[in-house]
Structure 1
Amino acid sequence: MPGATLSHIIPKLQRLSSMKELEQAQALVTKAGLYTHPCVLANLIAFSALSSFGSLAHAQAMFEETTEDNSFISNTMIRAYTNSILPIKAIYIYNDMQRVDCGSDHFTYNFVLKACARASRGVEEGGESDGYGVASKGAEVHGRVLKLGFERDGYIQNSLVYMYSQCGFVGLARRVFNEMTERSIASWNIMIMAYDKINDFESADGLLEMMPQKNVVSWNTLISRHIRLSKIEAARKVFREMPERDAVSWNSMIAGYVQLKDYAGALALFGEMQIAQVEATEVTLISVLGACAETGAFEMGRKIHESLKGNNYRIEGYLGNALVDMYAKCGNLSLAWEVFNELKMKPASCWNAMIMGLAVHGHCAEALKLFADMELRFDEIRPNRVTFIGVLIACSHQGLVEEARQYFKRMITEYKIMPDIKHYGCMVDLLSRGGLLYEACQMIKTMPLPPTAFLWRTLLGACRVQGNAELAEESFKQLAKLEAPTDGDYVLLSNIYAQSERWDNVEGVRNDMKRIGIPKKFGSSNTEIG
């Protein structure tokens, strides 16, 4: 193939704007016999991996067809995975580069250090990271950086500070920071955020005062601090007074409202962001879709989805998760399935959202079938504690007591996941629904965690259904040791006594309510108009 053909094709590859165009380009270069040309393949993979209109899964498929000694292509994939929901895979590719002695450069180390930082936060597949293992890998990379003479590279230095701070070694991060001959604004901001993360605000503020020049990131750090401390008004004050704002400023505030469960506030601020004509980022949309999920704002969520599809935007990772979760919580399981099936890369959180959505809305058999499918992909993905909550809810709604016992046991023995209070809550609810009140009571008493009022209240409610006044008395007493019973608890106990025709006890409960001053609330209902 003459060189002119290659020079004609490369500019076209650099102007790709959709996966459809990429697939057409693949067909063209394959027909021309240029598909394996390093420059051609690099352009195809770069678009697919890095463009918001590409597909990281498709890039991975192309990458697997290449030889392992192309450092540019490997760096492209490391960079893409570093910024994805699966940063741990960037580390795997880096390991392969070292194994085949591929020519690593300063780009490689900059990207892989960031991957170590993000993987240490537990954002990789499965949601449960070995932070110390990732930190060890980061220290190993640091050693290579020193050996190869990249220790004076400003970007790598910043990535080292970021990596050590995210892995919990703030002292090492500060040592690297102190050894820097030139510090950019980014260097100061990274170190300030490191101290903020461990709540060492004195050190953070000290650096902020010493900082020769501040930028929007500096003020965003203050916003994030206030939000983490649940001081939304203080965050709002900084937001209003900062000299300039970027998309991150808006994202931090919207995420703050979501974190504090003020979903209406989050959606209102999103409206302000649109009026201000600040372009929403993927992070913005993830927070907004979370607010839509919690408030049932299906139409807004659907419009966001339609807009993304209309612009051929790549829907993967956290954004895909947010859409699945939003549709599932809004009760539109058909659209949740549609998004779930279209996602090329599904982390545990995505499977969890779908399993939970199916379970909560009564599609229990489908939820358990999906869990079985997830287990078949054990080499790629691992169920976590959230997964088993969804599985146990499905069993509870279907009344599958024995199956739930087996899942509960397997969670501990096979997956080495120690149950938390939510898992025990699911089991107590399941056993109570199945009429196994004494087994539920025994589980509450013998579990290795302190019992909660919620568990005893669950059992109390089941005693009403089963007409067990004796166990109801015990449940009420145990509940009262943990918190003051509500009017509903008293009424429930009174009704159980009435059901058993123990009228003296009914009178006693009502007298206790009067003596303590607990009025019985009248029933009410809400109707949305318009």
Structure 2
Amino acid sequence: MTCRNFVLRLKNLDTRTTQFDSRCLKLIQDLRCCRDSVGVSRIHCDMVKTGMDKYDFAVSKLIAFSINDIRYASSIFDHVSDTNLYMFNTMLKGYSMSDEPERAFRIFNQLRAKGLTLDRFSFITTLKSCSRELCIRNGEGLHGIVLRSGFMSFTDLRNALLHFYCVCGKIIDARKVFDEMPLRADAVSFSTLMNGYLQVSKPVLALDLFREMRKTEVTVSVTTLLSFLSAIGDLSGAESVYGLCIKTGFDSDLHVITALIGMYAKNGDMSSARRIFDCATRKDVVLWNCMIDQYAKMGLLEECLWLLRQMKYDKIKPNSSTFVGLLSSCANYAAAYVGQSVGELVEKERIALDAKLGTALVDMYAKLGRLDKAVDIFDRMKNKDVKSWTAMISGYGAHGLAREAITLFNKMEEENYKVKPNEITFLVVLNACSHGGLVMEGIKGFKRMVEAYGFTPKVEHYGCVVDLLGRAGQLEEAYELIRNLPIASDSTAWRALLAACRVYGNADLGAVVMTRLAEMNARHPADAILLARTQAFAGNSQCQQRSVDNELYQEKKEAGYSAIEIESIREANSGLHSPMC
């Protein structure tokens, strides 16, 4: 080859390289403009037509911009003849964010089998999938590979391991990983371990860790401070932590302000929580929602209404989260006037009925006796989750409409491609059958829960079946059920049977149940009254009166608390009520 020919080949190569670079840049720009998988698919077709799909760089970028549709990305990945590390890591990242994180393990095994050199990102994304799936065995195996591969010096990889162990509840292993960080623990490490301690209900250790961090050169971050605020269990350290927020300059951060309000409210200091709220120079809807929610939890519903009016004055538009907690409190405190006002405000503001808000409205109206309104809200909801269906079924059951509850449950099962019932759903179905006397339907529902859905019955489910049998007069069957199942130590189930004994006048079995309650140290004044009425029904009232009186006087009455709403004003009273003359 002459020198001239060689120079010409170099020029042609340079021209082709320039053309390829420009095409790649255009490809990346086009991919960045795509907002859905349809656009990515269109670009993929153009790549096939122009031959760009033969270049690893182009295919790698195509996979990277397809991971929001992980199945489409997987179809591209599976047809690549020579996959590289970037493609593998992209797929690992995609699966870690998808609804199928367990598939990341297959990709990771393929990566190792191919013999490519792994980097720390391969481990970090796979550990994230382990955390989401709570795959302890796979995560521990990855930990071993990391140790053998020599990647433990990277702080971000150590933090991924730390997060994995914390999420899986293996807090001792998490602490070991943390302690093996030689002078490399950062704010993320401290925050992760603090959250791990909180997850396993060890707030004292979380506080100790925060104090340990303060002795190091690690700068307090917002995330770390939020974890610390979550760990505060009493007001003894509240003022000092508030001072720390001011000192570090985070007292103006809305996330920190929200956490401070939650901290004070959790400890019952609503005046300090309100002071923090009022001092905030900038309030977004999340902060308003937080303050309203805390008042609602305390039953201070008038304060909630005042804040809603203030929001309107400040031109802050509420969202669905503004009302969810407030509506639940209205239902729990039977505050009909406040609940009605809030419901009207939701309609006036035209707040979209998402699953949470719709469920809260259904639950409130059903509990306040407005079943017609609850049904109307339920029918208008476009997106219903399992809680929505459960709330409506519960509403029917509470109003004695057991047949309607069963019909709605059957309709829910017909739409099982959308929503599947959970254990609570079956509990409200059983409760509805119990109160409606639908014995066969209740037994059928119980069997379906176990056989069709694979749920393990809990004490509450067995208790409903006992109540169901008792109300139907099948007392001996209910008695045998309690004796032979894991509810023998549950006083609620025995008490339900005792109530059934009173209804059907079975004094002998009632005495057996009373003896069992006494052995469990679960006696209650109401039990003695039930037994007395059972004996009276059996014509044996006089001989039982003395023992019943003894039972009642042995029990110490505690002060009670009651609340009632009169003309939209909630009146509360505490202490023992005066006896009626």
Q: With structure 1 as the length reference, what TM-score do the two structures score? A: 0.66
Bigger CA radius of gyration: 2
Partner Cα distance (1:185, 1:109) in 2 = 21
Question: 131, 135, 138: which is aligned to 1:117?
Answer: 131
**Structure 1 position 27, deviation (Å):** 9.3
Deviations 1:184-216 (A, max 9, x none): 221233334445555372973673354323333
**Structure 1 position 137, deviation (Å):** 1.0
Q: 1:253 to 1:525 in 2, by over 3 A?
A: closer
- The residue number in structure 2 matching 1:208 is 213
Give the partner amino acid of 1:91: E
- The residue number in structure 1 matching 2:395 is 361
Is residue 392 from structure 1 mapped to residue 436 from structure 2 by the alignment? no
Mapping of 1:435-450 within 5 angstroms?
435-450=473-488
Q: 1:95 to 1:31 in 2, by over 3 A?
A: closer
Is residue 77 from structure 1 mapped to residue 94 from structure 2 by the alignment? yes
Partner Cα distance (2:546, 2:344) in 1 = 51
Question: 461, 467, 472: which is aligned to 2:499?
Answer: 461
Deviations 1:320-375 (A, max 9, x none): 6x557535533446655766x647xxxxxx53x2453243122223224434654x
Partner Cα distance (1:437, 1:270) in 2 = 58
Partner Cα distance (2:88, 2:254) in 1 = 33
Partner Cα distance (2:279, 2:46) in 1 = 48
Q: 1:252 to 1:109 in 2, by over 3 A?
A: farther
Partner Cα distance (2:222, 2:352) in 1 = 31
The answer as to whether partners of 1:195 and 1:203 remain within 8 angstroms in 2 is no
Q: 1:481 to 1:247 in 2, by over 3 A?
A: farther
Partner Cα distance (1:392, 1:269) in 2 = 46
Partner Cα distance (1:114, 1:382) in 2 = 27
- The residue number in structure 2 matching 1:291 is 325
- The residue number in structure 2 matching 1:137 is 138
The answer as to whether partners of 2:358 and 2:378 remain within 8 angstroms in 1 is yes
SS of 2:160's equivalent? helix
Q: 1:209 to 1:271 in 2, by over 3 A?
A: closer
The answer as to whether partners of 2:96 and 2:104 remain within 8 angstroms in 1 is no
In angstroms, what is the RMSD of aligned CA positions?
A: 5.4
Structure 2: which 5+ runs fail to align? 1-19, 291-318, 332-338, 367-373, 397-404, 569-581
Q: 1:250 to 1:436 in 2, by over 3 A?
A: farther
The answer as to whether partners of 1:396 and 1:433 remain within 8 angstroms in 2 is yes
- The residue number in structure 2 matching 1:346 is none
Q: With structure 2 as the length reference, what TM-score do the two structures score? A: 0.61
Deviations 1:63-100 (A, max 9, x none): 4654346446525533534xxxx5xx223234235437
Give the partner amino acid of 1:119: E
**Structure 1 position 512, deviation (Å):** 3.6
Deviations 1:493-516 (A, max 9, x none): 444455555442574467447744
The answer as to whether partners of 2:491 and 2:522 remain within 8 angstroms in 1 is no
Partner Cα distance (1:371, 1:392) in 2 = 15
Mapping of 1:419-434 within 5 angstroms?
419-434=457-472
SS of 1:138's equivalent? helix
- The residue number in structure 1 matching 2:104 is 93
Partner Cα distance (2:383, 2:59) in 1 = 30
Deviations 1:390-425 (A, max 9, x none): 553354355443454455456567766543322221
Aligned residues, how many?
467
The answer as to whether partners of 1:117 and 1:163 remain within 8 angstroms in 2 is yes
Deviations 1:416-447 (A, max 9, x none): 65433222212112212322222222222332
Q: 1:460 to 1:272 in 2, by over 3 A?
A: farther
- The residue number in structure 2 matching 1:130 is none
SS of 2:565's equivalent? coil
Greater RCO (Cα-Cα under 8 Å, separation 6 or more): 1
Partner Cα distance (2:276, 2:392) in 1 = 29
Question: 185, 206, 229: which is aligned to 1:223?
Answer: 229
Give the partner amino acid of 1:164: Y
**Structure 1 position 232, deviation (Å):** 5.0
- The residue number in structure 1 matching 2:370 is none
**Structure 1 position 158, deviation (Å):** 0.8
Give the partner amino acid of 2:77: T
- The residue number in structure 1 matching 2:77 is 67
The answer as to whether partners of 2:462 and 2:487 remain within 8 angstroms in 1 is no
- The residue number in structure 1 matching 2:188 is 186
- The residue number in structure 2 matching 1:125 is none
Partner Cα distance (1:518, 1:388) in 2 = 37
Mapping of 1:479-490 within 5 angstroms?
479-483=517-521, 485-490=523-528
- The residue number in structure 1 matching 2:163 is 162
**Structure 1 position 142, deviation (Å):** 2.9
- The residue number in structure 2 matching 1:475 is 513
The answer as to whether partners of 1:117 and 1:162 remain within 8 angstroms in 2 is yes
Question: 400, 403, 412: which is aligned to 1:370?
Answer: 412
Q: Structure 1 vs Structure 2: percent identity of aligned residues?
A: 20
The answer as to whether partners of 2:323 and 2:357 remain within 8 angstroms in 1 is yes
- The residue number in structure 1 matching 2:489 is 451
Partner Cα distance (2:320, 2:439) in 1 = 36
Structure 1: which 5+ runs fail to align? 50-58, 121-133, 344-349
Mapping of 1:3-42 within 5 angstroms?
14=32, 22=36
Partner Cα distance (2:236, 2:260) in 1 = 11
SS of 1:280's equivalent? helix
- The residue number in structure 1 matching 2:296 is none
